[in-house]
Amino acid sequence: MRQTLRIGLAQINTTVGDFQGNLYKMIESWQQAREQGVELLVFPELAICGYPPEDLLHKPHFLQANRTALQALASACPDIVLVVGFADGQEHKAYNAAAILREGEIDQIYRKGRLPNFSVFDESRYFVTGLEPVVIEVGSIRVVPTICYDLWNVSWLEKWLERVGSFDLLLNISASPFDMGKIRKREAVIRRYGEEFATPLAYCNLVGGQDELVFDGRSMLADASGRVVLRAAPFEEDLLIADIVVPAKGPASLTPISHPAKRCEDQLDEVYSALLLGTRDYVRKNGFSNILVGLSGGIDSALTAAIAVAALGPDQVVGITMPSKFNSSETLADASLLAENLGITLQTLPIGAVLDHFNETLARVPGWDAGGIAYENLQARIRGTLLMSLSNQLGAMVLTTGNKSETSVGYSTLYGDSAGGFAVIKDVPKTLVYRLARYVNERAGKAVIPETTITRAPSAELRPDQKDSDSLPDYEVLDEIIRGYVERDESAAQLVESGLPEEEVNRVIRLIDRNEYKRRQSPPGVRITNKAFGKDRRLPITNRYDATYTKSS
Amino acid sequence: MRQTLRIGLAQINTTVGDFQGNLYKMIESWQQAREQGVELLVFPELAICGYPPEDLLHKPHFLQANRTALQALASACPDIVLVVGFADGQEHKAYNAAAILREGEIDQIYRKGRLPNFSVFDESRYFVTGLEPVVIEVGSIRVVPTICYDLWNVSWLEKWLERVGSFDLLLNISASPFDMGKIRKREAVIRRYGEEFATPLAYCNLVGGQDELVFDGRSMLADASGRVVLRAAPFEEDLLIADIVVPAKGPASLTPISHPAKRCEDQLDEVYSALLLGTRDYVRKNGFSNILVGLSGGIDSALTAAIAVAALGPDQVVGITMPSKFNSSETLADASLLAENLGITLQTLPIGAVLDHFNETLARVPGWDAGGIAYENLQARIRGTLLMSLSNQLGAMVLTTGNKSETSVGYSTLYGDSAGGFAVIKDVPKTLVYRLARYVNERAGKAVIPETTITRAPSAELRPDQKDSDSLPDYEVLDEIIRGYVERDESAAQLVESGLPEEEVNRVIRLIDRNEYKRRQSPPGVRITNKAFGKDRRLPITNRYDATYTKSS
């Protein structure tokens, strides 16, 4: 006898700690799902409390509130079976769990069997591992729930599932953060699963920004061969619906009910979407609606402003240009043209008078030099102070504009250009900043970011005729060194052997190691690589390790 | 037949990543130890690479350098048996290990069996657990090495040691960070060990500051009953020497050879010593010798300056006072008197002219209010910018002066008074700041910190007649709420039930939760409680959890 089960994957954008808001979203999904005849509705990992709640999980009152919200969800949606992630707090320990809600009750609980404790994940800090799988029976269809990392080791999963006997569908509820290339890894995992188990898979991922992480959604349904047959939207909420058809004999098949979503065109589109969503969610979930960006006429601030406008709308964004005598008329014109193209207000606040008075004041101290690096930093700090003053006065968040290349080598002024609430492109290497700027213009079909902003040699404009290339290697070389040393943990020797110039390798490594203190005091920003500065790279500030290359080493 | 073994515990101050420096220190200890006839010399946990190396452990080249340094130590000190902590990197995994070095070779390796992954510890991120104990035989004396957390669960240890048969001495090499009350916990663990095993214990702890952590040393030797019979110095390097005497029958006994060290007098002495060592090591290990402190005439900056002078000497410290029209002549006089008492240079940089020009510049933007909170923050940011300009010019590190009470509720200006390299008293609640100020004066036998600084009602002096008590509860109440909500993870309901005023509890909880973003961009500082803001309290910035108390909850 053939059996059919209509399943819905609710890819929702939760907020950490927002029990009421998250519950409301789930009830909305449930209403939508039941209108379409869904019998089993699935929500992402820890959807009740948001992911990752970090040390909120150490508060017994938080775990209690999370349990209360789960009960409320069960009561509110009694008529279909729900699978939802929550933190299952027991005395002195908690599980990363999935509740199976049925007829207004918590019917079953599945507890995650594999806890990731690497990269941005600290699950061993919070959770103990579950001890056994469970089977959800809907009619005579047998569904096995798993949680995120459970799926990532198929040989582990085989052993784990030995106890459940045969089943018709594997569920995986995830909070899997985006990085470039992550989608390929997920699809490879799903293929391996299909090869091993020959059973369909329903993968429900979180969507939305949470501090540095962006969850990209892209929930998937795969058939018994591991082929993805239906995909949810990237970087936005979606409800994926399909029928699981279980024949009298042989593996179940999948019939898509919802329409396939538009996919990301390429990696630039992916990264752009991640930056947009990460920025929008950080700003809004932290209670802001308006933002300020300092516009220098350079490419970093131009890209940041373009993303801000795309994320929040032109009326929510104000550009501030803060010229000194070192700024060229060309960059000022570019800042102004950019603001016009983006349709945002531009305020001009010259810094000359303040700079002169700072200079006079500081001249009281023996040794003050109105022309050195301290003087350059001072200009950046005056700008940071102006932006923060307006931020405080107007209740608008300042976005900073530093990219990953600068952040790596400390080519920025602490409390100056690094001052602000969110660092949109902090994980974007400069070479990718250029590609994204061109992408923004292609998307718009016109030069939103002025062509001269893209082609002019980059400069901090803090002294006459300054160019980035005076202090740094070419960005192509710099980014290559950063990828090797920071993202892949390669040694100086490996980098030199790969053909990179020894002197530059050593200089950049020294700068990277020496500037940990600056990064530690910088605002969070969107993570787009598999190793951003942040939770996935925890280096001591006090660190005398000399990683440079010498012939003898 | 009676056997005797002379053991030395080398409580050294290592630096993370400083293989050469750490090796040099160990060779020095070895020279000192052999002169005194030591046969078994013990160094702390991960002494080769420093503790905690954090994500340096993810770099294969770092693990390799660590192995090279270990080999060098073995070669350099061939004539006595050494036990030393190192990171035992194997392919794709590493162990937190102790090497037993003998006759120039790595003779045995013990791998830590219990990995702490809570509070400030992330050992599951880096290490896999060892699988078996080892026995070191020196002559016919049997010594069992353990590493730090191995000791903290005596029933686990009993099972673990079932495999080794009888032994004469347990070693424990540790990197156990200080907090108030930690020494009592350690002694309790040692007592429990003695009760269970009736065998002497040699406990060798690290000393020194590493970013936020201070390791307090205080290595110990306990007899077979768990009674501590010899203690090493608190907060400084030391070499503890004793003879282990193993009779033909019955448990071994201990004969102290080195002299007992001076102990901390009380908890104030302990905290003061931790602040001193933490500050000195952060400044020096990061390559600085001179520091700057902004002196307001208030108690926080006075205590910070006093600690800085005690840590580094008066010639290394410059005080900067930056008066505005809101500063009273009394506080200015106190700043000046303090500088005189401490014997440090004081520079005066009035901020009025710069403030006026900022104000004029900002007045170009509609909505700017020269009298609101933004204007108060502006004053703090001008001061931060002046200090940082001098820091950049003079190569001196700025110490910030915020205490834990202010840090909790965000009573500070980001990039203003929070701007600097190290936040000496960031984990010291205001009520303890007062006690420490009095302690500093008692210690000196005179009012180094002016009495009026201690008795005057605290004020930020950013507007006329401002008092902290206008915006905050009494510090006694505030600190009580912080201890409960932050350090013990208690709920608002628990705090209200304990007798704290509901309105204040809710106000403070809201402020604590809302100011995570400020703390995230603040400099590191010395951890003195068992939960500081930092690695031991990892809360999301984006967090809508409402933990306040309502009657209905």
Token couple for B120: 């400030």
Strand partners, B244: B5, B254
Return the residue of A nearest to B353 by Cα: A357
Tokens of B119: 């509070």
**Which residue numbers of A are catalytic?**
45, 112, 148
> What one-character DSSP code corresponds to residue B467?
-
pLDDT of B471: 87
Quick one: DSSP state of residue B337? H
Name the residue among B16, B124, B414 with its Cβ closest to that of A117.
Answer: B124
Q: What is the ipTM of this complex?
A: 0.96
Parts of chain A belonging to CATH 3.60.110.10? 3-263
Yes or no, beta carbons of B521 and A522 under 8 Å apart: yes
CB contact under 8 Å between A122 and B374, yes or no, is no
Q: Which residue of B has its CA nearest to A57?
A: B539
B288 CB neighbours in chain A (<8 A) are none
Whether the bond between B52 and the residue before it is cis, its omega within 30 degrees of 0, is yes
| Residue ranges, CATH 3.40.50.620, chain A | 268-469
Q: Which residues face B348 on adjacent strands?
A: B321
Sheet strand arrangement including B345-348? B345-348, B317-321, B291-294, B397-400, B422-423
Please say if the pLDDT value at position B131 is more than 60. Answer: yes
The alpha-carbon gap from B387 to the nearest alpha carbon of chain A, in Å, equals 10
- CB atoms B372 and A393 under 8 Å: yes
B354 and A CB contact within 8 Å: yes
3-state secondary structure of B539: coil
- Strand residue runs (E) in B139-290: 141-147, 169-174, 201-205, 207-210, 213-216, 220-222, 228-231, 238-246, 253-256
**Residue range B60-73: mean pLDDT, rounded:** 97
Which one of A286, A378, A544 has the shortest CB-CB distance to B542? Answer: A286
Q: Across the interface, do B353 and A350 touch by the CB < 8 Å criterion?
A: no
Q: What's the pLDDT tens digit per position in B26-39?
A: 999 999 999 999 99
The amino acid at B55: D
Residue B348: which of B376, B306, B319, B384 has the closest Cα?
B319
Active-site residue set of B: 45, 112, 148
Taking the CA of residue A526 and the nearest CA in chain B, the distance in Å comes to: 13
Contact A361 B354 (CB under 8 A): yes
Mutating which of A290, A385, A387, A548 best tests the B interface, going by the most B Cβ atoms within 10 A? A385
Using a CB-CB cut-off of 8 Å, the residues of chain A touching B53 are 540
Cross-chain Cβ contact A59/B489 below 8 Å: yes
Dihedral sign, CA of B19, A536, A480, A495?
Answer: positive
In this prediction, residue A93 carries a pLDDT of 86
A545–B493: do the CB atoms touch at under 8 Å?
no
Domain A3-263 top-level CATH class: alpha beta
Percent of chain B with pLDDT over 70: 100
For B294, residues 6+ apart whose C-beta sits below 8 A from its C-beta are: B301, B319, B320, B321, B322, B383, B387, B398, B401, B417
Say if A475 is an interface residue toward chain B (CB within 8 Å). no
**Interchain contact B496–A (C-beta under 8 A):** no
Helices (H), A47-128: 60-76, 123-126
What is the distance in angstroms between the Cα of B146 and the nearest Cα belonging to chain A? Answer: 23
A61 part of contact set with chain B, CB < 8 Å? yes
**Under an 8 A CB cutoff, do B16 and A544 touch?**
yes
Contacts of A381 in chain B (CB under 8 A): 384-385, 388-389, 415
Chain B 97-136, CB below 8 Å of chain A: which residues? 117-118, 122, 124-125
- Please report residues of A whose CB lies closer than 8 A to that of B538: 54-55, 122
Delimit the CATH 3.40.50.620 region(s) of chain B.
268-520
Q: Residue A381: closest CA among chain B residues belongs to which residue?
A: B385
Query: What is the per-residue pLDDT across A145-180, written as a single tens digit (0 to 9) for each?
Result: 999 999 999 999 999 999 999 999 999 999 999 999
**Interface size between A and B, measured as CB pairs under 8 A:** 258
Unique residue bearing structure tokens 């690290």: B206
Mean pLDDT of B100-108: 98
Q: What are the angstrom distances between the C-alpha of A322 and each of A400, A546, B514?
A: 14, 39, 30
Query: What pLDDT score was predicted for residue B552?
Result: 56
At residue B55, the 3 state secondary structure works out as helix
CB contact B93 to A (< 8 Å): no
Nearest by CB to residue A361, choosing from B56, B386, B520, is: B386
pLDDT in tens, A73-126: 999 999 999 999 999 998 778 999 999 999 999 999 999 999 999 999 999 999
**Is B434 at the interface with chain A, CB within 8 A?**
no
Between A92 and B250, the higher pLDDT residue: B250
CATH label, B268-520, candidates 3.40.50.620, 1.20.1540.10, 3.30.420.80, 3.30.70.260: 3.40.50.620
Q: Give pLDDT, residue A510.
A: 97
Q: Is B520 on the interface with A (CB under 8 A)?
A: yes
Q: Is A62–B545 a contact, with Cβ atoms under 8 angstroms apart?
A: yes
pLDDT in tens, B496-534: 999 999 999 999 999 999 999 999 999 999 999 999 999
Judged by a CB distance cut-off of 8 A, whether residue A489 touches chain B is: yes
Query: Alpha helices, DSSP H only, in A396-550?
Result: 404-409, 430-444, 451-455, 468-471, 475-482, 492-497, 502-514, 516-520
B135: left (phi over 0), alpha (psi -120 to 50) or beta: beta
Q: Cβ of B488 under 8 Å from any chain A Cβ?
A: no
Where in B338-478 does DSSP place strands (E)?
A: 345-348, 397-400, 422-423
> Nearest CA of chain A to the CA of B211: how many Å?
6
Fold classification of A268-469 is: Rossmann fold (3.40.50)
Residues from chain A that touch B72, judged by Cβ atoms under 8 A, are: none
Q: How far apart are CA B129 and CA B136, in angstroms?
A: 20
Taking an 8 Å cut-off on Cβ atoms, the answer to whether B546 and A125 are in contact is no
- Note whether B547 contacts A59, CB cutoff 8 Å: yes
Q: Does A491 touch chain B (CB under 8 A)?
A: yes
Distance between CA atoms of A232 and A190, rounded to whole angstroms?
15
* Cβ atoms A232, A145 nearer than 8 A: no
Asked if B541 has any chain A CB less than 8 Å from its own CB, the reply is yes
Structure tokens at A124: 């061993």
What is the C-alpha end-to-end distance of chain A, expressed in Å?
71
Yes or no: say if A248 and A3 are a contact pair by the CB < 8 Å rule: no
Q: What is the pLDDT along chain A (553 residues), one digit of tens a residue?
A: 789 999 999 999 999 999 999 999 999 999 999 999 999 999 999 999 999 999 999 999 999 999 999 999 999 999 999 999 999 998 778 999 999 999 999 999 999 999 999 999 999 999 999 999 999 999 999 999 999 999 999 999 999 999 999 999 999 999 999 999 999 999 999 999 999 999 999 999 999 999 999 999 999 999 999 999 999 999 999 999 999 999 998 899 999 999 999 999 999 999 999 999 999 999 999 999 999 999 999 999 999 999 999 999 999 999 999 999 999 999 999 999 999 999 999 999 999 999 999 999 999 999 999 889 999 999 999 999 999 999 999 999 999 999 999 999 999 999 999 999 999 999 999 999 999 999 999 999 999 999 999 999 999 899 988 888 888 999 999 999 999 999 999 999 999 999 999 999 999 999 999 999 999 999 999 999 999 999 999 999 999 999 999 875 4
Say if CB A293 and CB A304 are below 8 A apart: yes
Q: Kindly list the residues from chain B whose CB atom is less than 8 angstroms away from the CB atom of residue A61.
A: 489-494, 547
Q: Which among B210, B360, B539 has the least Cβ separation from residue A54?
A: B539
Contact A545 B118 (CB under 8 A): no
pLDDT above 90 for B386: yes
Hey, is the C-beta of A184 within 8 angstroms of any chain B C-beta? Answer: no
Is A385 close to B385, i.e. CB distance below 8 A?
yes
Q: Which of B127, B318, B415, B536 to mutate to test the interface with A (most CBs of A within 10 A)?
A: B415
Q: Any CB–CB contact under 8 A between B377 and chain A?
A: yes
